[in-house]
Amino acid sequence: MVRRVSRNPEEIKWILRVHNPLDEETAREPRALLGGTPQQAAKDLPRLKELGINHVFYDMNHPAQIPIDTQLVLLRRLVRLIKA
């Protein structure tokens, strides 16, 4: 499909939109992709990179039962784990 519109597939950026919330408590296995604690979600990222996914976007409006401040704290933890 990409080649039909004269685009190079290697230059396409793939973004994964995530509706699974991060949580402070460990999720039981099997768990949702990129769900659970930031530590659990960080373990999913290498496989996504292998699949060619360049960016991950957490939809913070979807898990409305989790306050935005909590979501931001957990997302910051995940970012720190990725950068470590």
Mean pLDDT of the chain: 90
Q: Confidence class of residue 35 from pLDDT cuts 50, 70 and 90?
A: very high
Cα separation of 63 and 58, whole Å? 10
Q: What is the pLDDT of residue 1?
A: 67
- Total tally of structural domains belonging to the chain: 1
The parent domain of residue 71 ranges over 3-83
Instruction: Give pTM, 2 decimals.
Output: 0.84
Residue 55 DSSP SS3:
strand
Average confidence (pLDDT) over 23-49:
95
Residue-wise pLDDT tens digits, 2-17: 778 888 878 888 999 9
Name which of 21, 48, 43 is nearest 32 in CA terms. Answer: 21
Q: Confidence class of residue 58 from pLDDT cuts 50, 70 and 90?
A: very high
- Asked if 63 contacts 21 with a C-beta cutoff of 8 angstroms, the reply is yes
Cα separation of 84 and 81, whole Å? 5
Name which of 11, 9, 83, 70 is nearest 37 in CA terms. Answer: 70
